[in-house]
Structure 1
Amino acid sequence: MLGADRQAGRGRARPADPPHAPRLDRGRGLMSFQHDETGVDESMWRDAFAARREALPELDAAWLAGIAHLVVVAAHPDDETLGAAGLLSRAYRAGVRSSVIVATSGEASHPDSSTHTPEELGRLREEECLAAVAEVDPGAAVTFLRLPDGHLDESMRRAELGEAIVQLLLSSAPDTRSVVVSPWVGDRHPDHAAAAGAAQEAAGRARAEGREVEVLATPIWLWFWAEPGDARVPWTRMRILPLDADAVAAKGAALARHVSQVQPLSGLPGDEVLLHPGMIAHFERDFEAFVGEEPDAPDDDGADDELARYFETLHADADDPWGFETRWYEQRKRAVLLASLPARDYASVLEVGCSTGVLTLDLAARVRHGGSVLGVDLSAHAVERAQARLSAHPEATAERMRVPDEWPDGRFDLVVISEIGYYLDPAELTAVVERVLGSLTDDGAVVLCHWRHPVEGRSETGDSVHAAVRARPEFGTVAQHLEEDFVLDVFERAPVQSVARREGIV
């Protein structure tokens, strides 16, 4: 549950955090948890669940009996206990095969400890995890990936976790149903969000191989930092698993096994208890709460679209899932993109894959008087946030659209395509380029900007996407920026002139 520097999750700008919530480091977008902070009192959640209990769907015995394989994904040792020990207990008694994947060893939970090195703490927490799982499901297979604590959101780490989940899902027979339980993407912990994304992507890959997979997420930090009335609480997708007395007792015994978290490591500073009684109270309920997948976004053709489902879930559960507003990496990348535009201003701008409209707003500042900028995105939730962000700028708007099947009318003198190319197969990428060529003015520019590291579940990379577009004879390269993490290309119709030549400097 706890990771590097005791920091949990990415912050959001709205609604405001309650006064008793952990402090939010706006510069890093992380919530800094201190051992002596109490968080939201469990009595508030108890009353909220009591008021809503009849309306919340229940995961009943029939649902449990239909599971052939339960896969529980933990970002750190104790996530599996806090979020799903009751489920593991009930699954064991129902004869369900269970597997637990622990991504990191939680070695960074006490960064200031003078009595335990990270290596010692990691070994200790793995032993505690094994003992805890044995309390609720002695037959469960537990796998430790030993990825670095606090770094699951790095693409290579997330890819390794996703691959491990996929292999477990594919080990089940095609005609059976598997359930994957991961931390909740909206928990405001970067490792939790990364684990949730890896689980969702892995489920998509397994479904493509003919497996039936259900994905559930378990909030952990939510109970600590949010009040029940917070708009970020996913009540509409909450599902309840009742726990009988045996499951409650087994979960309590499992939680007690995580000694390094529920007791101080020592009496010295840096060794304080991390899961204090107020936090533990959230996990002593006679039920567990899980968040179901976001329903498919409504398409005109009603198609069941796995990619659309992924992006809808991502944006429904987090205001800023990519860290556009908080990460210096993203802020700097936008600055590089804007500085690379060959013209001072533009008449008509199209941004493909606008997400929540952060770059769209910056592009609006480069639109001349009377001009316009349109952002399009596959996610209805993202478009809704982009529209809110752009509401004070009449020259800017956002629409939900799936490219290349859909494309806006009109001509554009600037088209920006950022971080979506590797989600397209080669035929779709070709179709997008054709769409761009058909709507680009004679003097228009096209900007591509993409992550260069591997993307889980995608055969294309940023480099391959840019190489494919760069090879088109219709385009010439005006500018290129290349570094370890991202590549940026600016194209115009061939032949091209540099900015200095068009201004008569050379």
Structure 2
Amino acid sequence: MVTFDGRTPGTPATAWTTDPRFRDLPALALRRTGRTVVVAAHPDDETLGAGGILAELADAGCPAEVVIVSDGSGSHPGSPTLDADELAGRRWAEVVEAVHILSPASPITMLGHPDGGLREVRDSIEDDLRALLTDGFPVDQLVATWRGDGHRDHRIVGEVCAVLADELGCTFLEYPVWLWHWATPDDPRVPWDRLRVVELADRSMVRKHRAVAAHASQVEPLSSDPHDAPTLHPAFLRTFDRDVEVVVAQEPVTPTLRGEFFDATYGRHDDPWGYTDRWYEERKRALTLAALPDQRYRDVLEIGCGIGVLTAELAQRADHLLAVDVSTAAVERARGRLAGLPHVQAQVADVADAVPAGSFDLVVLSEVGYYLDRPTLERVLADLRTRLAPGGTLLVCHWRHPVDAYPLTGDEVHRVLRRTTDLTLLAEHREKDLLLDVYSDDSRSVAQRTGLA
């Protein structure tokens, strides 16, 4: 039996964020297309547990629908300031303001069931949600309060949504709220094996912080009367002021992709990604080369060289170039393409096991990071930093559209790097299809390096 009081601090936020298991949680490739519905047991759950997800989907041009199951009238029993009906009206207005901050285009539905009494009206909730979810386009992603959250209303909503997600055949994600208050990292009820993180952009974090404040009846006193005290302690609220949203996933984590995956891909096609005949790839190579801050480099490391198309162009600006790929088939084709370039070596190597030894003035990590799970990516990035020569440059470039088979998205790769590196960001290129960032141990611009500024 779980008991807790949101007016108390609960487990310190740092107890979670400093735990190695939390830091190593695998990233979830959030679906940013199709129809997503976020279901909350109470007004404010949608912001506390899924506010970052709402913001991310809004920025992806795919705003989620928001459904609030209860009326929120039970948060201040005995209040001398607001009766139950007045409180329900206040909380509806707060939800509208909070969701507008997070995702202005998201439609909101308040089902109005009694706060604290959802178990007694479970069948009605299921009927209401089924009617809503089956109206219109098929639901691709259903996000709801976690069944194990320790609050009866959260459990009922999570259980009903799990049933409906199974009926609909859609992705089902659950978000904890009260787990972070009553549990500790070592509590056996914490589902570490199923927890995933959704990386949040800085703008999503800022909007979530503002949206939490919009639930004023829960974070500020209604009056000086003890019955009007805030229902959420400031220390507990700090739990939600972080750069990830944590969800409970039903699917197993996608592990780092290994050489067998790529050899099988190359076995079906000589050039499976169209390096040699797609304008997209040709243009991306031109962007990559133009973004490099120096005209020439002494020692270059290219990770994920594929069949060596970009390698051949990098070779024109390098004295020595080591190109590696996890696929034996790809490296064999790269060696054939690069045979006339004696200063270039193509080798089979898996950076998930070890980054090649040496000191490099330029490291190119193009279309590789999303093949690694998050802990492996962080380790590889840290190892690459140690291989970078003083004043060296790191270029990263990745496809932005999610691929179900990959552990991460391109956006997540770039966010992890930005939040873990001590290098200076010299250049960044953003478009709908790709991200390209250039970091350096030398903070000077191109004009400064060449004496123009």
Shorter-chain TM-score range: 0.5 to 0.7
**What SS does structure 1 have at the residue aligned with 2:72?**
coil
* Structure 1 residues 179 and 185: CA distance shift in structure 2, 3 A: same
Residue 193 (structure 1) aligned with residue 155 (structure 2) = yes
Structure possessing the higher relative contact order (Cα contacts under 8 Å, 6 or more residues apart):
2
**What SS does structure 1 have at the residue aligned with 2:162?**
helix
Give 1:186's aligned amino acid: G
Give 2:26's aligned amino acid: P
Paired position in structure 2 for 1:58: 27
> Pairwise mapping of residues 19-418 of structure 1 onto structure 2 (< 5 A)?
31-33=3-5, 35=7, 37-48=8-19, 50-54=20-24, 56-60=25-29, 63-65=30-32, 67-154=33-120, 157-174=121-138, 178-207=140-169, 213-293=170-250
| Alpha-carbon distance between aligned partners in 1 of 2:21 and 2:158, rounded to the nearest angstrom | 28
| Alpha-carbon distance between aligned partners in 1 of 2:94 and 2:155, rounded to the nearest angstrom | 23
**What SS does structure 1 have at the residue aligned with 2:94?**
helix
Contact 1:172/1:178 (CA < 8 Å) preserved in 2?
A: no
| Alpha-carbon distance between aligned partners in 2 of 1:206 and 1:81, rounded to the nearest angstrom | 25
**What SS does structure 1 have at the residue aligned with 2:18?**
helix
Contact 2:218/2:231 (CA < 8 Å) preserved in 1?
A: yes
TM-score by length of 2: 0.54
Give 1:117's aligned amino acid: D
**What SS does structure 2 have at the residue aligned with 1:83?**
helix
Give 1:273's aligned amino acid: P
| Alpha-carbon distance between aligned partners in 1 of 2:22 and 2:238, rounded to the nearest angstrom | 19
* Structure 1 residues 51 and 196: CA distance shift in structure 2, 3 A: closer
| Alpha-carbon distance between aligned partners in 1 of 2:96 and 2:176, rounded to the nearest angstrom | 22
Cα deviations by residue, 1:289-346 (Å, 9 ceiling, x for unpaired): 0001277xxxxxxxxxxxxxxxxxxxxxxxxxxxxxxxxxxxxxxxxxxxxxxxxxxx
| Alpha-carbon distance between aligned partners in 1 of 2:128 and 2:207, rounded to the nearest angstrom | 27
| Alpha-carbon distance between aligned partners in 2 of 1:216 and 1:128, rounded to the nearest angstrom | 24
Cα deviations by residue, 1:478-497 (Å, 9 ceiling, x for unpaired): xxxxxxxxxxxxxxxxxxxx
Contact 1:125/1:260 (CA < 8 Å) preserved in 2?
A: yes
Residue 57 of structure 1 and its aligned partner are, at CA, apart by 2.4
Residue 178 of structure 1 and its aligned partner are, at CA, apart by 1.3
Contact 1:40/1:225 (CA < 8 Å) preserved in 2?
A: yes
| Alpha-carbon distance between aligned partners in 2 of 1:75 and 1:173, rounded to the nearest angstrom | 23
| Alpha-carbon distance between aligned partners in 1 of 2:90 and 2:119, rounded to the nearest angstrom | 24
* Structure 1 residues 222 and 34: CA distance shift in structure 2, 3 A: closer
Residue 273 of structure 1 and its aligned partner are, at CA, apart by 1.3
Residue 160 of structure 1 and its aligned partner are, at CA, apart by 2.4
Give 1:279's aligned amino acid: F
Give 2:156's aligned amino acid: A
| Alpha-carbon distance between aligned partners in 2 of 1:53 and 1:161, rounded to the nearest angstrom | 36
| Alpha-carbon distance between aligned partners in 2 of 1:276 and 1:216, rounded to the nearest angstrom | 26
Residue 51 of structure 1 and its aligned partner are, at CA, apart by 4.4
Contact 2:199/2:243 (CA < 8 Å) preserved in 1?
A: yes
Residue 170 of structure 1 and its aligned partner are, at CA, apart by 2.3
Contact 1:166/1:203 (CA < 8 Å) preserved in 2?
A: no
Residue 53 of structure 1 and its aligned partner are, at CA, apart by 3.1
| Alpha-carbon distance between aligned partners in 2 of 1:163 and 1:89, rounded to the nearest angstrom | 28
Contact 2:17/2:23 (CA < 8 Å) preserved in 1?
A: no
Which blocks of at least 5 consecutive residues in structure 2 are unaligned?
253-453
Give 2:75's aligned amino acid: S
Overall identity of the aligned pairs, in %: 38
Residue 229 of structure 1 and its aligned partner are, at CA, apart by 1.1
* Structure 1 residues 233 and 123: CA distance shift in structure 2, 3 A: same
Residue 107 of structure 1 and its aligned partner are, at CA, apart by 0.4
TM-score by length of 1: 0.48
Contact 1:166/1:205 (CA < 8 Å) preserved in 2?
A: no
| Alpha-carbon distance between aligned partners in 2 of 1:294 and 1:137, rounded to the nearest angstrom | 27
Aligned residues: 252
| Alpha-carbon distance between aligned partners in 1 of 2:147 and 2:82, rounded to the nearest angstrom | 30
Contact 1:101/1:145 (CA < 8 Å) preserved in 2?
A: yes
Cα deviations by residue, 1:202-241 (Å, 9 ceiling, x for unpaired): 112223xxxxx11111000000010011110001001100
| Alpha-carbon distance between aligned partners in 2 of 1:252 and 1:101, rounded to the nearest angstrom | 20
